[in-house]
Amino acid sequence: MNSFFKTGLRRLCGILSILVLSASAYAEDIRIDEVWTHAPASGRDYTNVFMFVTSNQDVAIVGASSPAAGAVELRSMIHKRGMMKTITLENIPLPAGKRVDMTSIHGYHLTLTGLKAPLKPGTDVPLTLELETADKLRFKADIKAEVRPLKSTAR
């Protein structure tokens, strides 16, 4: 290997390590509490995930995934012509220093769609949230949602 290539490779490795360390620092600025879902009703292959999220800086949830589902959608509800309508969002804003309540289907929440197997109360569902800072740096946060029985919606 020539010295020019080695120098370029070292610089690239240095830049990548800075980006990884930056993403780790951002992930430490996010607090995610009381993450839960419920076992879906019989015959349904979807369920909602609820949580509280607090960030030390302005970020947004821009995506999510779970090995338990075909997709995870970012959702909310709107009132339109006297009716409630579910909408899919591109992102969920997390303002700095504010505890965002994502514990109601009438507000921000996640929906697991295309469940690959029934969810059993007392188990956990792994999820990965993809977040983005105001300066477009993306990072991930791995969490687990406690599966509660369908009748239990209390926190």
In this predicted structure, the answer to whether residue 149 has a pLDDT above a threshold of 70 is yes
Q: What is the pLDDT of residues 24-46, one digit of tens each?
A: 334 568 899 999 999 998 889 99
Average pLDDT over all residues of the chain:
84
CB 39 within 8 A of CB 148: yes
Give the Cβ contact number of residue 3 at 10 Å: 7
CB 71 within 8 A of CB 133: no
Q: What is the pLDDT of residues 99-136, one digit of tens each?
A: 999 998 889 999 999 999 999 999 999 999 999 999 99
pTM of the model: 0.78
Q: Which residues pair with 76 in a beta bridge?
A: 87
Cα 99 from Cα 96, distance rounded (Å): 9
Backbone angles phi, psi at 33, to 5 degrees: -120, 155
Predicted confidence at residue 122, as pLDDT, reads 94
The pLDDT confidence band at residue 10, using thresholds 50, 70 and 90, is low
Which domains, and CATH codes, for the chain? 3-148 (2.60.40.1890)
